[in-house]
Chain A
Amino acid sequence: MNTKADKIRAASIDPTYYQAVTEAIRTQAVKLLTEETVVAVVGYFPGRRQGTAIPALVTTPEQAEKLIFSPACVNNLTLFLTKAKKGVLKKGRVAIIAKGCDMRALAGLMGESQVKREDIFSIGIACAGVFGSGADRSGNLSEGNIAKKCRECSVHLPEGADLLVGTLPELSELTALEALEMARIEALPQAERWAFWKEHFTRCIRCMACRQVCPFCYCEQCLCDKNRPQAVESSPRPAGNMAWHIVRAMHLAGRCGGCAECERVCPMDIPLNLLNRRMAQELKELYDYEATTTPQEKGPLARYQENDDESFIK
């Protein structure tokens, strides 16, 4: 066996790891539903197309037998716990399958009192990563098709779950492409940075998929949908689009957990996660605050404290 072949083999994740996680999820979900510990389990079913998975809201042990975990399990399921998806789940305790990035959203929602800790049974996943948007899903997960966010993941083994399933396989060190891109843009002069984002936002068609898929965009009336008074133009034109994305990035600053769902679902491939990660970096530098997988106090832009720095008020 030559070492190059070994390296290539090590770089792709063996499907037996996913099979083991799938078995563990099924066993646990069936148990929770049979014992009536929870009224529903939010997990993933396989999709019709190769390499796809879809969110599943299962309420019976029979359905729970069909849950899976695979590199196609890209969705952040915590979305279905928010008031934006009111009425879709029965009232009662709910179990949820959550990767590390999803756990940050779950923790954030708890910190903002949107979800009660006692209403959730979290099944955390020791996650090797998921497929990237537009990637070739015909084979195993490998460097060639892994999502950008997974390359620099620090929560492969998330803390704070009620139960953690899966044994992480050996993971290869991957270049943090997103961090590199962020540094590249940071180094550009301001006019070029503006041009970069303007070019992207000109393609925005205001489908609102970014907002609808975000667990933190749970407002029952989005500011940008109001027209009395109107804060942001609703028509898809460059100026209104810039405003929309800047407002959303500001509203997410300090809250966004970096699940990158917004970027994944954008039909125009706008690099939204880049913007949100940059805001997260800013919040870390200015306020030493970042989203975590365990609930904490709300972010600095969402709360007021007596000892907040006021030196900038002249």
Chain B
Amino acid sequence: MTRIPFDLQLLNLCAALLLLLSFAMLAQRRIVVMVNLLAMQGVLLFAATLLLAWRTGEHHLYLSAALTLALKVIFLPWILHRLIRRLQVYWDTEPLLNISGTMLVGLVVVVFAFGLAQPIAALASTATRSSIGIALAVVLLSFITMITRRKAMSQVIGFLSMENGLFFGAMSATYGMPMIVEFGVALDVLVAVLVLGIFFFQIREQFDSLDLHHFESLKEDP
């Protein structure tokens, strides 16, 4: 095995831990813990961006790291925690599949993502190209998290986790996105969370619960 430099090993470790956190989120039933996992993902992204910035010397990555820290580790989890407390939604105990089934689907998805990523990794030119598979896997796993949940809150957390995965993918493939794009995406996410928060209150007013299967009663009877 060729000797991989230490910072690249740390990056690999960050990638692997990110995957582990996505899996843990898939299996979680407590929404508070899911938000904490999201915050931990943010920490990992912050660490990975810092490492990459130090390795490549690109200054805009330092800015990106600071933005990640502010938004993903501090601000967004704070908003989500506040929402949870006001909406009093702490548990999401009825997923679509039972936990073992969900984990099995997650595993299949990871294999699929890794399989796709192998030829792509050969084409990319960055040092972290092997993490593209992990980024893709995180995106798909977050998608599955969104699909298998019933409470709107967990779906939002899945959506944010997907954005984390995309961010990591962008970083490992092309050393980050242009700053304008990054600012734009960050603003979008922030606005989305605020708007969704307002929506949740409306949903709760209408249905007296945040359980999304109530939406099914909205369809017209033929």
Q: Is chain B found bound to chain A in the same assembly?
A: no
